[in-house]
Chain A
C-alpha cells in the first residue's frame, strides 16, 4: 500500500464541519493564499451535492509554484454526512526533470478518509495522454452550426378553436428566442416566461451574466435547483417541485402564470425527425399553452433549443413521456 498524506494546510483548509453545517446549498468558492505572497494559490469549491444544506464535497485545486497552472487537485467527499471528509481522490503532476513539463501524474484514492491513499498509481505522461481528446473529423465548432430543426408543427390560432386553448400561445410565441448551441436553456425559458407575463423586453445575455455572477449558471448550464432564480431575480413569484401534471400546468396558465418544465430533451428535440442522440439530457422549456381542441391534447411549448422551437405543439402523451424523466419537475411563475 502506498502511503501518501495530504498536507492538511492545503486540504480542507478554512472551513470546518461546524462552519459548513447549515450553510446554504449554493456552491461556494474559497480562495486562499497559503504561501502568503498575496497571490491566490489555492481554490476550494464546496458543493452540497445532496442538497441537505451541508457541504459534502470539496474540490481543491492548488498551484504550488505560482505559474498559473494547477499542480494538485483533490476531491474530498463526506459520504456519510457527519461533516468529515471520508473519501478523497487526488492527482498531482510530477515534473521529474524540472523542465516545467509534467512527466508523470500521481493519482490516488483514499476510500476511508484517513488521508492515506489506499490505491495510487503513477501514470506516465504517455498513459496520461490517453485522456487526450482524440481527433475528431472537421466540423463547425459549437455555436457555429446552423442549429437543429425539430420539424414540429407550430401552433396556429386560425386552425383551432381558441375556446379550447388554455394560455396565451399567440402572444407568448413572440417572446421566443433561439438559445444557440450552448446550454442556457433554463435562462431562456425563464426570460421568455417573464416577458410573456409582463410584456417587458429582457436581454437573455444580460440574465446569463447575472446568473453567472450569482452562481446559477456555470457556463455549461443551469441546474434544476436554479431553474427559478432568474424569475425571482426579475421579481416574479415562483413555486417549484416534482410531480406536476397537465392540470397543474392548465391551472397555472389560467391564473395568468407561466410554467417552465424540465423534460428529456432527446424526446422533444428530435421530435418527428429520424435523428437521435446517445444521451438523454434534462432540458428546460416554457409551456405557453394547451390546446384541447383535437382528439389528443397538444402541449404548446417555447423551446429555445431548436431553431423552429416557437409555439411547437407536442402531443400530450409524448410531452408527458419526456416530462416523466425529470419526475415531472416544474416551476410556476407569477408576475
Chain B
C-alpha cells in the first residue's frame, strides 16, 4: 500500500491536476473520508499570494476534489465558484493569512516536519481502516492536534465543507 505522501505526489502529477487544476493553486492538507465502502482522500486547491512578514494571503479555495485511495481515481470535483454552496464567498477576497498563530513559532523545516508527522498519522489511520494495527486514542489525539494546528483557521469553513466527518473528528477547538 502506498503512503499518503506518494499518493499526493501521484495526484499532483496525475491527469486531473494536469488538465483541470490551474497552475498556481496549491493543495490543502489531505483529509480522509469513507463513502460507499471506499476510502477517499479529499483536498481542496487554493492560491496563496506571497507577502513578507507572515502576511501571505490565503485565497478561498477554488476546487474541492476527492480521489479514491490508493488509485487516485477522481471521485468528486467541485468548482466552488459554480457551486451553490459557496455563493456567499467573494473569491477575490483573502480568507486568511499565513502563518497563523499556532505555527508562528515553526520555521520552514519545523513546519515541514510537523506536516510529515501529520502524513504519518494519516498513514497509521489508513492502515487501521484497512484492518491493520490499532489506531489508539493517543494516535487519534495526535492526529487531531496536528490537523488542528496545521489547518489554517481562515480556511476551517472550507475544510469542514470539504470533509465534514473528518473535521468533526479531528478539527478541535
Contacts and interface: CB of A to CB of B under 8 A. Distances in A.
A225 B87 CA distance: 29
Q: Which of A107, A281, A326 has the most CB of B within 10 A?
A: A281
A274 to B, nearest CB: 7
Given A73-B84, A128-B85, A225-B19, A274 B57 contact: no
Contact of B82 (A25, A73, A326, A327): A73
Interface stretch (A41-49, A191-199, A246-254): A41-49
A114 interface: no
A242 B85 contact: no
B23 A224 contact: yes
Contacts of A70: 82, 84, 87
Interface stretch (B123-131, B135-143, B153-161): B153-161
Interface stretch (A138-146, A161-169, A200-208): A138-146
Contact of B97 (A75, A128, A139): A139
Interface in B67-119: 73-79, 82-90, 92-98, 107-108, 111
Nearest to B115: A278
B18 A325 contact: no
Contacts of B76: 75, 77, 87, 89
Nearest to B79: A59
28 contacts: A47-B20, A49-B19, A51-B15, A70-B82, A70-B84, A77-B75, A79-B73, A79-B74, A93-B84, A111-B35, A131-B85, A132-B157, A133-B60, A134-B156, A136-B96, A149-B52, A181-B49, A221-B22, A221-B25, A277-B48, A277-B50, A279-B25, A279-B26, A279-B27, A279-B48, A280-B27, A282-B23, A325-B12
Interface string A21-60: 0000101000000000000000001011111000011010
A45 B82 contact: yes
B169 interface: no
Contact of A59 (B54, B82, B158, B161): B82
Contacts of A105: 84-85
B49 A145 contact: yes
Nearest to B15: A51
Contacts of A282: 12, 17, 21, 23-25
A303 to B, nearest CB: 12
Interface string A236-269: 0000001000000000000000000010011001
Interface of B: 9, 12-13, 15-28, 35-36, 46-52, 54-60, 62, 73-79, 82-90, 92-98, 107-108, 111, 150, 152-154, 156-158, 160-161
A183 B51 contact: no
Given A49-B19, A131-B161, A91 B56 contact: no
Q: Which of A47, A133, A134, A183 has the most CB of B within 10 A?
A: A133
A185 B83 contact: no
Contact of B85 (A48, A107, A139): A107
B168 to A, nearest CB: 13
Nearest to B152: A278
B75 A79 contact: yes
A122 to B, nearest CB: 13
A186 B22 CA distance: 10
Given A227-B23, A277-B98, 20 more contacts: A56-B74, A57-B77, A71-B84, A73-B82, A131-B85, A132-B89, A133-B88, A134-B153, A141-B93, A142-B57, A185-B23, A222-B23, A265-B24, A274-B108, A275-B108, A279-B25, A281-B24, A281-B26, A325-B9, A327-B13
A306 B74 CA distance: 33
A334 interface: no
A148 interface: yes
